[in-house]
Amino acid sequence: MDQVDLLVIGGGSAGVRAARMAAQRGARVALAEAGALGGTCVNLGCIPKKLYSYAAHHGEAFEESHGFGWSGPAPTFDWATLKRNRAIEIMRLNGVYEKLLIGAGVQLMRGRAVLADAQTVQIEGERIRAANILIATGGAPQRPDFPGQELAITSNETFDLEPFPQRLLVIGGGYIACEFASIFNGLGSRVTQLYRGAQVLRGFDDDIRAFVAAEMGKKGVDLRTNAQVATLQRAATGLQVTLRDGSTVEVDAVLAATGRRPNVTGLGLEAAGVRLDERGAIAVDDEFRTCVPHICAIGDVIDRVQLTPVALAEAMALVDRMFGSGRRRMDYENIPTAVFTHPDVGTVGLTEAQARERFGRLRIYRSEFRPLKHTLSMSTERTLMKLVVDDATDRVLGVHMVGAEAGEIVQGFAVALKAGATKAAFDSTVGIHPTAAEEFVTMREPVA
């Protein structure tokens, strides 16, 4: 039976980063993975979704080019080509991850890992003992509960859907639902999106939520809030969706994007004595230890912040504690994020509502405008930018944007927030002209 210093279960972003960093610090490391390396992000999440988002922008880009003097026959979209090229790129990335692990000296074990006891893991009949075990098995889509729900697909199946759906129903109002609604709308599908709440993107700033919903509607997404599916059944020419208000929608495919759950089933957690929390995630302390101190967990399986860069940061903090100085800590404050809707959302820091709860008196700066590009493109797309400022200290608490390349723009401002930038620092910064980003340093008058 092999003995290692660290056994990592799961070859996604968190697991691969932890295994590599630990091995590079001299630890004997093994990593077990039954599927493709890279986890959700590489195979069924961030990367393929962003590639499809790029593809979806090209259709409107052709229409917008007419205002700049371009003309000619409209291009046609080939779904099979996009799927094939995406698959080739993902396979390349799978190979990159394998080379990184092997190059760092990680023992790569192919197969499903199950905890036999607190220090022994069984992988396809082979047993391995570990001084430390790290669970980084990520999460998976969860299906809603209604009659006919088995006819719906999840985000996992969406990338290779066949045939291309001319009519698509998206259930959900989170970032995954909104992104896929925008993507398929941009690729030419007639998209209906249903959300049971009053507004999509719960947890984001309310101004951002309302603005992006309106922009998605202008681009053609039929967004229906306060709406829920009652039943789903096959019809002669597609799938018939009956809503709880009695209305019906006929579509070619239904995408259920109603949340994700931690991957904990079949891991043998009970045999090792590992406890789950009330949400069904693995319960860990501030240093990612479970109730069994030498068994740790990071990433989506602990369900703190389900973002790839967060999983990577958790991995670095954990490895530093195990095999380094122990000074590195995970800070969940001011984590920037983007939603690749059309147009994009970029945000970092507190929403206006969160800031009012914590700080009281605020100054809010808000600017809405038509970007320079669209003065000739004839597109009606608009951009929204918003700053949330603590009136007592002048510190900028939140930066929020809806508009082209919002994620790219907000990433830089995330550094400023992390450094504790004040509104005066924003005001004294010279803008880059003409850009949309300069609006963040030229807003002078707070809104009422």
Q: Which residues are known to be catalytic?
A: 433
Tokens of 155: 């985000």
DSSP 3-state of 432: coil
Measured on CA atoms in the order 210, 213, 217, 223, is the torsion positive or negative? negative
Tokens of 268: 């043998």
Residue 76 one-letter amino acid: T
Distances in whole angstroms, Cα of residue 189 to Cα of each of 41, 56, 102, 221: 24, 10, 42, 9
H-assigned helices in 370-405: 374-377
Distance (Å, whole) CA 332 – CA 243: 38
Question: What Rg do the C-alpha atoms of the chain give, in angstroms?
Answer: 24
Please name the residue that has the structure tokens 């830089």.
412
Residue 157, C-beta contacts closer than 8 angstroms, at least 6 positions apart = none
H-assigned helices in 230-307: 269-272
Q: Contacts from 364-371 at CB under 8 Å and sequence distance 24+? A: 364/388, 364/389, 364/446, 364/447, 365/389, 365/423, 365/443, 365/444, 365/445, 365/446, 365/447, 366/207, 366/443, 366/447, 367/439, 367/443, 368/211, 369/439, 371/403, 371/404, 371/436
Please name the residue that has the structure tokens 């880009």.
61
Write out the H or E segment, with its range, that includes residue 261: strand 260-262
DSSP string for residues in 97-126:
HHHHHHHHT-EEEES-EEEEETTEEEETTE
Distance (Å, whole) CA 207 – CA 213: 10
Going by C-alpha positions, the residue among 325, 305, 303 that lies closest to residue 316 is: 325
Residue 54, C-beta contacts closer than 8 angstroms, at least 6 positions apart = none
Distance (Å, whole) CA 328 – CA 342: 37
